[in-house]
Amino acid sequence: MSFVAINVLTVPPQMREVLEERFANRAGEVDRMDGFEHFELLRPVAGQDHYLVYTRWASKEHFDAWVGSQQFDRGHAQASADGPAATGSQVWTFDVAETRSVDASP
């Protein structure tokens, strides 16, 4: 089964638009990594200031290779140059124990 990494970002309300714009214009380096399966940026709805950056990988080793790669550094370079949009970050990791999805075929 897959491996999931969720980066929990604390983002003040005045920086939400900045964060979302950065992700919309991201380099997309992660999309080309071996073992990468899925990405989502989850926006808080009400009463929260945490965005979740969800990535799914074929294995923990694939995720670790991403974090240790030059592509990771390039993918995060612009945000570092402009200063952080988030005031805090924590990474949660999970092994997928079970998964379901809607079958899109007719």
Q: What is this structure's pTM?
A: 0.86
Residue at 78 is within a domain? yes
Identify the sign of the CA torsion 79, 80, 82, 87: positive
CATH number at residue 20: 3.30.70.100
pLDDT band of 78, cuts 50, 70, 90: low
Which pLDDT score, from 0 to 100, does residue 8 have? 97
Higher-confidence position of 26 and 3: 3
Angstrom distances, CA of residue 27 to CA of 10, 14, 18, 24, 92: 22, 23, 15, 9, 23
Which pLDDT score, from 0 to 100, does residue 47 have? 83
Q: What tokens were used for 45?
A: 């709805």
User: Is-contact 5 66, C-beta < 8 A?
Assistant: no
The total of structural domains in the chain comes to 1
Structural domain that includes position 12 = 3-95
Which pLDDT score, from 0 to 100, does residue 71 have? 86
Residue at 100 is within a domain? no
Residue at 106 is within a domain? no
Q: What letter represents residue 65's amino acid?
A: A
User: Is-contact 10 85, C-beta < 8 A?
Assistant: no
pLDDT band of 59, cuts 50, 70, 90: very high
